[in-house]
Every structure is written in structure tokens, then in C-alpha cells.
Amino acid sequence: MDMDRLALDFVRVTEQAALSTVELIGKGDKIAADQAAVNAMRKTFATINISGEVVIGEGAKDEAPMLYTGEKVGSGGSNKLDIAVDPIEGTSLVAGGLSNALAVVAAAREGNLLKAPDMYMKKIAVGPEAKGVIDLEATPTDNLKAIAKAKGVKVSRLTVAILDRERHRNLITEVRNVGARVKLINAVDVGGGIATALDDMTTDVLMGVGGAPEGVLTAAALKCLGGDMQAQLCPVNQAEVKEALQMGIDDIDQIFKLNDLVQGEDIIFSMTGITNGEILVGVQEGQTHSLVMNSQTDQAGAIRELRTNHNQASITAQLCG
């Protein structure tokens, strides 16, 4: 499987999703924005020579007409892939004209992405320097001390990304009490998790409870970047427990390690900015800003940064360590 070529095919998917939302940014209609991005992704997937199955998508078939869980995508071919999509990571951000909205796609060989149900998931994610030292069953305080030791800094130098939600009040208090900084994020915990593994970002760790599908997408990126992650499903009722069992998760209390979330070594991840954010510039005058990576690149942790001018059909790419 030519991972470099497929990675560039997948970045077209996120680019087209981002471009499709431009006229809907700030218009207050997150449903219309999401549908536009879904349509664009689905259309672009049809041009790629893969036999893909959506394992993380827009919901069950009766809830989503396209990119539903179980839908087949691609034009056919020998490359059988699991596909995870988030056409808009942060639909409310697009509707409100707010920062950090992204279009995101990940892929792995067939059977290698966790089929995560649409429910909450507790997560901790770090970059390469802290790989192997995190423990979801430990306290936030103990994790921060272990991460600080691995990075060779004081806990007071760490910055923790946490979704700004009422459920995280106690977590935020504990993180601050141990001396670390808190960066409250409003929606996109995929971006927050990825930022832990990017050299030019100030985030050291992602903690808290977010969406399970977003957890798998984050894990795919961290697998490419050499980071680490642990996660655990947080069902809120018996219906969600039943859904997880039906999707093949026998132990609802299982602590998923990075290699449980994303198996194998053939991983592709792509994201494109929709609105301006800390990691990516949003769509501006027909130009997109994307990051694309794969786990087979010759340079460990390498990222291809693409700025594509779609009006002139010209591309400049930069390889970042």
C-alpha cells in the first residue's frame, strides 16, 4: 500500500469538506454546515482507489444518509481500509464563526480501528516525550508528576488542555492545585490531543471526558506522531452499554491503550482548518491549510503541511519534523 500517495488522496477529502463550509461560517446553522461537509467528503472518497468502510462516522444508517457507520466508500480496489471521519470537528464553532473548527479523517487497514460507539470517553493523551508514563487509573496529580519527570520539567511548567465543561470542575481544580496550567478548550478535543505532540504548541497533555469517536481520531494522529494515549468508555445508561457490546466491546470498563484504539502500522491522518485556530489557518480566499501524516514515513513523527490554493490549483508542501 503506497501510504504517501494515499495520504495525499485523503488530504483532498478534508480540503473539500473545509471548502464546502465557507459560505456557512457564522450563519448559525450547524446542521447545514455539517451536511455540506459530509456531501463533499463522500463525493471525494468516491474518487479514491480504496475499498473503505466507515467505522467512525455520522451515526447509524437510520440516522445519517451518508458517511454512516458501516457505509462503504471509495472507488474499489485492493486497499481495504477502516475509515474514521469527522466532517466538522466543532459544528457549533462553524455556526458561530468561532475559532478552531476542523475537518478530520483517519484510516487504517481493515479491522485496525476501534469501532467506538457514539458516547463519552475518558482520555489522557501526551506527546512522544511522555510516551509510556501515563496511566488513566492514576490520579491527575500522579499523571502530571510522571509527565513532568519524563519531560524534565517542573509540574508548574505543564499545560493541560481540558474541555470547558461543568463535568470537569473537579479535574480543573486538581490540575491547578498541583501547580499546572489549564488551557480550556471549547469544542475540539481532537485538536487538543494532537497539540500535545506538536513541537510548536504549548499543550503538554489532554485530560478529561469527550467523545469516543473523537478519541479514535486522536489516537490515529498520535500513533503517527509517536505520542501516547489511554481511554475508557463512559456510558451514561444501559442503552449505551448495549450499543458497545453490539459493536464488539466485551468489557465496558476496559482501559484502551493506544494500540487498542488503533492497531497496526499503516495509519493515515489528515485534517484541514475550517476556521482559524491554534494549529491551522482556516479557509481564506480559496486557500486551505492542512496537516497530513502517515505512520510509514521515513522520518518518525514527520508531518506534511500543505497550503493549497484551489483557485490556481497550485500546492506548496513543507515537511516538518
Taking alpha carbons only, the member of 278, 275, 288 closest to residue 98 is 275
Taking alpha carbons only, the member of 230, 204, 187 closest to residue 95 is 187
Taking alpha carbons only, the member of 256, 186, 250, 251 closest to residue 218 is 256
In b/e form, how buried is each residue of 96-110, taking b as 16+ CB within 10 angstroms? bebbbbbbbbbbbbe
DSSP for residue 186: S
Nine-digit cell at 77?
A: 480496489
Q: Do residues 293 and 225 lie in contact, with contact meaning Cβ atoms separated by under 8 Å?
A: yes
Q: Give the number of other Cβ atoms within 10 Å of residue 260's Cβ.
A: 14
Q: Do residues 168 and 162 lie in contact, with contact meaning Cβ atoms separated by under 8 Å?
A: yes
Taking alpha carbons only, the member of 137, 131, 127, 132 closest to residue 254 is 137
Please check if 58 is assigned to a binding site: yes
Q: How far apart are CA 283 and CA 272, in angstroms?
A: 9
Taking alpha carbons only, the member of 40, 229, 2 closest to residue 133 is 229
Please check if 166 is assigned to a binding site: no
Please check if 243 is assigned to a binding site: no
Please check if 305 is assigned to a binding site: no
Please check if 34 is assigned to a binding site: yes
Residue at 290: amino acid letter: S
Q: How far apart are CA 197 and CA 256, in angstroms?
A: 19
Residues that constitute the known binding site for Mn(2+) = 34, 58, 86, 89, 214
Which segments are annotated as binding site?
34, 58, 86, 89, 214
